[in-house]
Structure 1
Amino acid sequence: MTAEQLRSQIAALAQQIAGKPLDSRLADWLNTEHGPLSDSFRQLQATCEAGVHDGWLCNREGGGIRYGRIFKPADDLQGFSVDVVDMESIAGPQHVHPGGEIDLVMPLSDGAQFDGHGAGWVVYGPGSQHAPTVTGGRALVLYLLPAGQIQFL
């Protein structure tokens, strides 16, 4: 598995969601079309797990969280940046999503949740904020940020 494979997977997904409002309807659609039982979810998770294992994903560490921005916003990604974090029973820093945020939650431990959600997609609308929190074990979370925008508080 390579970073190029991950980029290709994300580009295909981004093309499907381009221009859609970041809201609960998008979360429902993502979980229906690309949820935990889908091939696309399994492929994304396998690529992310391989990337962490091989060291090209989550290659930075701060405050007990491994993280990394793997792709800056780009046309082939429909203007999204792509970050992946590796968290285990920890809360991250409070931040605001000026354009919203789309998260793919990939539990690595049985019962691990991100902000109270198990495996699947979580969508935060423009202007939302949170302190991203993983409970119940370890999870990878892939973030799509419109124009790469995030403001830490």
Structure 2
Amino acid sequence: MSQNTFRQNLARVTAEIGQRPLDAALDQWLNAEHGAGSASYQALRADCLRGVAEGWLCEREGGGIRYGRIFKPAEDLHGFSVDVVDMQDIAGPHHSHPLGEIDLILPIEGEALFDGRPAGWLVCPPGSAHRPTVSQGRALVLYLLPEGRIDFTRNTPTKADA
């Protein structure tokens, strides 16, 4: 598989998201249409696992978290950037989402939860903030960020700092 195939698979999903507001209704819709039992979820999960194994996803590491931005915001991705992180029983750096964030939660070891949520999608509305946390195992999390916008809070310790 290539990065182009991964991009095409993502573009099919972002096309359906289009200009929808990032809210609870989108969260419910994504989990109903592209949730953990769906073919689209399984395809994106397989793409991410292969990308990590081949070394073109999560190629950086810091504070116990492997991460990387695979695609900058682009028209074919409907204005979203794409990042993937690999986290195991850790809280990441606090940040806010000026335009919102859409997370695809892909547990790969144990019964991993992301911010308390199991496999599937989590939509964070514009202006929201969190300290992304994986508990009960290891997960890949794919982030879709409108216009690639994310604001990290300065000087917040992580579990690795404690």
TM-score range, shorter chain: over 0.9
Structure 2 residue ranges without an equivalent (≥5): 154-162
**Alpha-carbon distance in structure 1 between the residues aligned to 2:80 and 2:73:** 5
Specify the SS of the correspondent of 2:109. Answer: coil
**Alpha-carbon distance in structure 1 between the residues aligned to 2:29 and 2:60:** 32
1:6 offset after TM fit, Å? 1.0
Aligned pairs (5 A) from 1:130-141: 130-141=130-141
Q: Identity of aligned pairs, percent?
A: 60
Instruction: Report Cα offsets for 1:95-138 as digits up to 9, x if no partner.
Output: 00000000000000131000000100000000000000000010
- Other-structure match for 2:43: 43
Structure 1 residue ranges without an equivalent (≥5): none
Aligned length: 153
Amino acid at match of 1:26: L
- Other-structure match for 1:144: 144
- Other-structure match for 1:122: 122
**Alpha-carbon distance in structure 1 between the residues aligned to 2:67 and 2:110:** 21
Specify the SS of the correspondent of 1:112. Answer: strand
CA RMSD of aligned residues (A): 0.5
**TM-score, length-scaled by structure 2:** 0.94
Specify the SS of the correspondent of 1:15. Answer: helix
Instruction: Select the structure of larger CA radius of gyration.
Output: 2
- Other-structure match for 1:17: 17
Amino acid at match of 1:48: C
**TM-score, length-scaled by structure 1:** 0.99
**Alpha-carbon distance in structure 2 between the residues aligned to 1:88 and 1:4:** 28
- Other-structure match for 1:87: 87
